[in-house]
Amino acid sequence: MRTGVLASGRGSNLQMFIDLAQKGELPIELVAVGSDQAGAQALARARSAGIPVRVFTPADYPSPHTREESLLTWLQERQVELLLLAGYMRILGERFVQGADFPILNIHPSLLPAFPGLHAQRQALDYGVKVSGCTVHFVDEGLDSGPIIAQEAVPVLPQDTEETLSARILTVEHRLYPEAVRLLASGQLERSGRRVAERKSGSGH
């Protein structure tokens, strides 16, 4: 599946996809990495893997809408069949989401619908929850609000800081996100309204 990734920062999730795709352990081919940040480490990772990159700097466009139009056109030129958000720090507008003829997935470091938006791990600590985790979901026009594909919980420990909790969640992200992509790429996800289920076909059980 021709796959694009959007990332604004460090790019550890992107790196995980690069590694799995290179090893042939995931049925995706990374064909485009876009960012809103020219200095994002994610771009360096993509470049060294030989993946075409493009930066869409907000200041270069008259409006968010025109910026997203160029982004969508580029992804369509790259014939993207799946778009993965991996630490992309912007909400995609309605016209982008509705204009995209490919599924868009995101990973968020909380158990949605708890703690959407920025600093999800800090929000969880401040709230005092005992369990948090991460969520892979389809992207809609809202803030981390699309139908949920997969979730996994991690404990929140009394001595946790934002850094330790983030690290515990990130380890799970790197396992959960590719699992969700594998299900989607192999046509095993069934969507009915907000509910997404794994299709159990041909198992005979």
Note the residues at the interface with ligand GRF (CB under 6 A): 7, 9-13, 86-87, 107-109, 134, 170, 173
Buried/exposed code over 14-49 (b: 16+ C-beta within 10 A; e: otherwise): bbbbbebbeeeebebebbbbbbbbeebbbbebbeeb
Secondary structure class of 127 (helix, strand, coil): helix
The answer to whether 157 and 125 have CB atoms below 8 angstroms apart is no
- Which residue has the closest beta carbon to ligand GRF? 87
Minimum distance of ligand GRF from residue 201's CB (angstroms): 30
Residue whose CB is less far from ligand GRF, 155 or 186: 155
Name the residues annotated as catalytic. 108
CB of 80 to ligand GRF, least distance (A): 19
* Pick from 61, 59, 35: nearest CA to 47: 35
Three-class SS state of 123? helix
Cα 59 from Cα 109, distance rounded (Å): 28
Is 69 or 140 the residue whose CB approaches ligand GRF more closely? Answer: 140
* Dihedral angle, C-alpha 191, 18, 52, 4, nearest 10 °: 10
**Comparison of 76 and 114: residue with beta carbon closer to ligand GRF:** 114
Pairing mode, strands 29-35 and 189-192: unpaired
Shortest distance (Å) from residue 59 CB to ligand GRF: 22
Backbone dihedral angles phi then psi of residue 202, each to the nearest 5 degrees? 70, 10
Q: Cβ 83 to ligand GRF, closest distance in Å? A: 14
